[in-house]
Amino acid sequence: MSADDAAAAASDPRRLPQSSVILAGDNLELLPTLPDAAFRLVYIDPPFNTGREQRRSATTHVRAAAGSGTVTGFKGYSYERIRGQLHRYDDAFDDYWAFLEPRLLEAWRLLADDGTLYLHLDYREAHYAKVLLDAIFGRDCFLNEIIWAYDYGAKSKSRWPTKHDTILVYVKDPRNYVFNSDDIDREPYMAPGLVTPEKAARGKLPTDVWWHTIVSPTGKEKTGYPTQKPEGVLRRIIQASSNEGDWVLDFFAGSGTTGAAARSLGRNFVLIDQNPEAVAIMRQRLGLGQV
C-alpha cells in the first residue's frame, strides 16, 4: 500500500485504494472496510462441493408483495416464510448458507446502483442460492442463469455426466444496469449456413449457455491452483457488465483470474482471499506485492 493509500485509509477507512489491490484475510472482516456502491461488478466463486455430507432443516425467506409477507426483512421488504424440508448438501461448513448469506448482503451493499453480481456455483447449491438471492435482491432483479458447460475429465456411466457450473446473475436495479452487448467477444454460429455471410463472419452474441473448456492442465494459463477458472469466462463477464476504468470485486479470488481478466480489459480490481497459497499465486501472477 502506498503512503497516500495509508493516509487515506487512516482518515476514511471506507475508501477504495488508488490502484488495484490484493487483500489477504477473512472477507467478512475486510468487506465492511470498503465503501458503499463502489463496484460496478462483483463476481464470486465461493467454496463448494467438498464432499462432506451435512443435514439440516432449512428455513428461507422469499420476497413477497408489499405488506403481504409474514416477516419484514432486508431493505424493509416483506417476506413470506418458507420452511424447507430436510435436505442434504455437500460442504465442509456446518451451515453453508449461514456462511454465505452475510457475504451476499455485503455484495449487495458494495454494488453500484447500476451494478451486477455474478455468483458462480455448482448444481448442488444453485437452486438454494436462487431463493436466497431472490430475497436479498428481489426476484425482479434476477437477470440470467448462465450455464458454463465443458467436456473434460471422468464421465459417469450410471447417470448423465455432470459437466457444467451455474452462474446466477443479479442486478441492483432492473431498470438501470450495464450490459455491453457490442463489446462481448462473439462466437461462431453452430449452423453458419443458415445466416448471411456477413453474420457468419461476425459471429453471434453468446447465449446463456457457454461452451468453454476448463483451464488446460498443461497450458500457459495454468497456475497450479486447484479450482482455477478460465480467463475466457471471466473476460466475457467483465466485458458485458463493466466499463473501462470501473472497479471489479472478487472476494473469493483464488488464483486471481478475475484480476487478470479485469486488468487486460482496463478495469481496476480488489481481490480478497484468506488462503495463503491463493494469495501467493495471485501476487506472482499479477505482480502485486504485500499489502
The answer to whether 169 touches 143, Cβ cutoff 8 Å, is yes
Alpha helices by DSSP H, the chain: 3-11, 27-30, 96-110, 126-137, 197-202, 231-241, 257-264, 276-286
CA separation for the pair 57, 35 (Å, rounded): 35
Say if residue 19's pLDDT is above 90.
yes
- CB count within 10 Å of CB 59 equals 10
3-class SS of residue 149: strand
Q: What per-residue confidence (pLDDT) applies to 259? A: 97
3-class SS of residue 233: helix
Beta strands in 98-246 (DSSP E): 111-121, 142-149, 164-171, 209-211
The answer to whether 150 touches 122, Cβ cutoff 8 Å, is no
- Per residue in 122-178, pLDDT (tens digit) is 887 788 888 889 989 999 999 999 999 988 777 788 988 888 999 999 999 999 999
The answer to whether 265 touches 239, Cβ cutoff 8 Å, is yes
CA separation for the pair 149, 289 (Å, rounded): 35
Take residue 198 and report the three cell numbers written for it: 456477413
- Per residue in 88-131, pLDDT (tens digit) is 433 444 466 778 889 999 999 999 999 999 999 988 778 888 88
Say if 291 falls within a structural domain.
no
The answer to whether 94 touches 54, Cβ cutoff 8 Å, is yes
Strand 164-171 vs strand 111-121: parallel, antiparallel, or unpaired? antiparallel
**Which pTM value belongs to this model?**
0.81
Q: Which domain holds residue 91?
A: 3-286
Angle 266-269-272 (CA atoms, 0-180°, nearest 5)? Answer: 155
Confidence of residue 74 (pLDDT cuts 50, 70, 90): low
- Look at the chain and report how many structural domains it folds into: 1
Confidence of residue 52 (pLDDT cuts 50, 70, 90): very low
CATH of the domain at 92: 3.40.50.150
CA separation for the pair 107, 1 (Å, rounded): 23
